[in-house]
Structure 1
Amino acid sequence: MKLSVVVITFNEEKNIGRFLKTVADIADEVIIVDSYSTDRTKEIASEHPSVTFISNEFKGYGQQKNFALSKCRGEWILFPDADEVVDEQAKESIKQIIAGKGNADVYLLKFNNILLGKHLRYGGWGSVSRERFFRNGFGEYSDDKVHEKFLTSGRISTLNGRINHYTYHSVSQHIDKINRYSTLMAEKYVSAGKKVGIIKIVFTPWFTFIKDYIFKLGFLDGVIGLYAAVTTSYYAFLKYIKLYLRKKS
């Protein structure tokens, strides 16, 4: 078996069908590790007979991804998120590497980040790369609840092609995720013994906004660039105020 495509999911009914269609022509196996979705994720996945669907309790992104890795049998692993689509150039590059024409163990893929229908090119969104394709056994994830890191001692290169990342389809979906992620980050900080004071709570959101919108040229992405900078600063505020309140209680 050459290529395992694996993804973790929770309520991804809007994305999982597209995801499965775009990897069907390159995957020898497709593994979905789901955190007991309450929408149609499992139903849609069951329409694809080549999919192995596994339900597993969510204890954090790092643990869930490592559990998913343990189920992969392929020599190579492609591990995108459910809202990511590998383009045709990247898929062709993957085929070439699997055929023995690569020179690395881990490959970064560059992202096209699409927020509320707009491809963002500035504000820190236009220069994102992630480890999404790697040789089985040459990487694992840090044991973090959120913002987990990919850990490897293998040789790293960049894959030709890109991932189209369809981040959020509505403001309400985005705000819901900001709320969940900021809670997980506060829990992560509490576990690490991190403390926060009123100065950091007040000034970090403003610094984050100015950095993304002004210095990283987010204003060039128009109204959605403004929205991106505001919501990123809002996330910074939420994670620190939640940490402060947890420490105070």
Structure 2
Amino acid sequence: MKVIVLTPVRNEDWILDQFLQICSLFADHIIIADQNSTDRSIEIASKFEKVVLIKNDNLNFNEAERQKILIAKARELYGLGNLLLALDADEIISADSINAAGWEIMKQAPLGTVFFFDKPTPLFQFSKALRYKDGFPLGFKDDDSEHQPTLIHSTRIPIPQHASKIVIHDILFLHLCFARPNIQFSKNRYYCILENINKSSGLRLRRLIYSYYSLKNYLNGEYEAINPLWFEAYDKLHINLKKFNEESYYYMDFEVLKLFQKWGTKRFFNEPIWKFDWEKCRLKAIDLKIEGIPTEQIKKPTLLRIYLVDITFAISNIITSLVRKIRK
């Protein structure tokens, strides 16, 4: 059984070097599908012996396509029976997981088994982390089952009906999305707009999921103190996972501007995206000579409308929560 990491990449040079250094400690092969990166991602990936670099030339956001590309390439190059681990570049295995007993459990598991892992999300200067102990399906003992992904928020690996499901408790993947919070908030805005366009969720759900633009918004989550062992060995190897340069804008902000150009902004007036200065972002995009950006000033909802929509959905959420408690 080979351990094969499958990772889609688009402009991830801020963390890709660390990700590949660490994946090289436990993976036999790492397949990177680069989607038109304009930063140093390709250069970085090309330095690593275990990396197979392939291109994803799609100009649009499509999780389903990129997952199928990665799985197909793993099967083409290395056959079946391998452990496929579908990881994003900001999902780093904890240092104390490298030699965990869970690897032997996965090795002995039958083909078709799906493996679930906790992805602790460090917050607050890496003092606490959100926990998801039921786990996410990130691993699959490949039996050639068909993958049935969705456009957005897709399960990354096949989960056949016959699959055994095992939670691997002693292997953790640290989700470092808040090592640079602006990136996560940029992603929230972008995904919100994509879900509006693709009608993949309703407005109320979008406002629940994508209204978080401060670490304080995450205080109600289930979090606990960071375990020093998650980072200790990497600190000794001088692999930095805690301090990164922050940027004011990320490529996803510019992608939203392109969608504004195509769809206009009125369609999105009720979305929780208007506490961000889109006009300033537009001017920055023009300065960078990014194509497809609106040429006219961004039209946005009035402050009164933003306030009323916020209040309406806040009251709706309170009522819904009370009703659920009463029904229990």
The TM-score with structure 2 as length reference comes to 0.55
1:226 matched to which residue of 2?
none
Where do residues 41-60 of structure 1 align in structure 2 (5 Å cutoff)?
41-58=41-58, 59=60, 60=62
1:169 matched to which residue of 2?
179
Alignment of 1:148 with 2:154, yes or no, is yes
Larger mean Cα displacement after TM superposition, 55-64 or 212-221: 212-221
| Equivalent residue letter for 1:156 | K
CA contact (8 A) 2:93 2:173 kept: yes
Question: Following the alignment from structure 1 to structure 2, what is the Cα–Cα distance between the partners of residues 117 and 215?
Answer: 14
**Post-superposition shift, 1:173?**
2.2
Normalized per residue, which structure has more strand? 1
Question: Following the alignment from structure 1 to structure 2, what is the Cα–Cα distance between the partners of residues 163 and 8?
Answer: 16
Alignment of 1:68 with 2:70, yes or no, is yes
**Post-superposition shift, 1:23?**
1.6
| Equivalent residue letter for 2:86 | F
2:9 matched to which residue of 1?
9
Question: Following the alignment from structure 2 to structure 1, what is the Cα–Cα distance between the partners of residues 37 and 269?
Answer: 31
| Equivalent residue letter for 1:111 | K
- For residues 149-176 of structure 1, the C-alpha deviation after alignment (integer angstroms, 9 at most, x for no partner) is 3551211011122111101333432332
Q: Which has the higher contact order (CA 8 A, sep 6+)?
A: 1
- For residues 81-140 of structure 1, the C-alpha deviation after alignment (integer angstroms, 9 at most, x for no partner) is 10011124543345313542679711100121024633554xxx4226211111113563
Where do residues 99-110 of structure 1 align in structure 2 (5 Å cutoff)?
99-100=107-108, 105-110=113-118
- For residues 215-236 of structure 1, the C-alpha deviation after alignment (integer angstroms, 9 at most, x for no partner) is 9834988xxxxxxxxxxxxxxx
Which runs of 5 or more residues in structure 1 are unaligned?
222-237
Question: Following the alignment from structure 2 to structure 1, what is the Cα–Cα distance between the partners of residues 103 and 222?
Answer: 38
Alignment of 1:127 with 2:132, yes or no, is yes
Q: How has the CA–CA distance of structure 1 residues 99 and 220 changed in structure 2, closer, same or farther, with 3 Å as cutoff?
A: closer
Question: Following the alignment from structure 1 to structure 2, what is the Cα–Cα distance between the partners of residues 170 and 111?
Answer: 17
Q: Say what the alpha-carbon RMSD is for the aligned residues.
A: 3.8
Question: Following the alignment from structure 1 to structure 2, what is the Cα–Cα distance between the partners of residues 217 and 247?
Answer: 27
Question: Following the alignment from structure 1 to structure 2, what is the Cα–Cα distance between the partners of residues 220 and 99?
Answer: 31
**Post-superposition shift, 1:15?**
1.4
SS of 2:36's equivalent in the other structure is coil
Question: Following the alignment from structure 1 to structure 2, what is the Cα–Cα distance between the partners of residues 119 and 140?
Answer: 37
Q: How has the CA–CA distance of structure 1 residues 186 and 48 changed in structure 2, closer, same or farther, with 3 Å as cutoff?
A: same
**Post-superposition shift, 1:148?**
1.1
Which runs of 5 or more residues in structure 2 are unaligned?
225-255, 257-263, 271-328
Question: Following the alignment from structure 2 to structure 1, what is the Cα–Cα distance between the partners of residues 27 and 4?
Answer: 6
1:25 matched to which residue of 2?
25
Larger mean Cα displacement after TM superposition, 105-114 or 19-28: 19-28
Question: Following the alignment from structure 1 to structure 2, what is the Cα–Cα distance between the partners of residues 38 and 71?
Answer: 23
Percent of paired sites with the same residue: 19
| Equivalent residue letter for 2:136 | R
SS of 1:140's equivalent in the other structure is coil
CA contact (8 A) 2:121 2:177 kept: yes
Rg bigger for which structure?
2
Q: How has the CA–CA distance of structure 1 residues 215 and 41 changed in structure 2, closer, same or farther, with 3 Å as cutoff?
A: closer
Q: How has the CA–CA distance of structure 1 residues 168 and 25 changed in structure 2, closer, same or farther, with 3 Å as cutoff?
A: same
Question: Following the alignment from structure 2 to structure 1, what is the Cα–Cα distance between the partners of residues 121 and 115?
Answer: 18
SS of 1:168's equivalent in the other structure is helix
Question: Following the alignment from structure 1 to structure 2, what is the Cα–Cα distance between the partners of residues 57 and 219?
Answer: 39
Where do residues 70-85 of structure 1 align in structure 2 (5 Å cutoff)?
70-72=72-74, 73=78, 75-85=82-92
Question: Following the alignment from structure 1 to structure 2, what is the Cα–Cα distance between the partners of residues 155 and 205?
Answer: 32
- For residues 38-94 of structure 1, the C-alpha deviation after alignment (integer angstroms, 9 at most, x for no partner) is 111111111112211111124411221121111112611111110011124543345
The TM-score with structure 1 as length reference comes to 0.71
Alignment of 1:114 with 2:136, yes or no, is no
Alignment of 1:184 with 2:194, yes or no, is yes
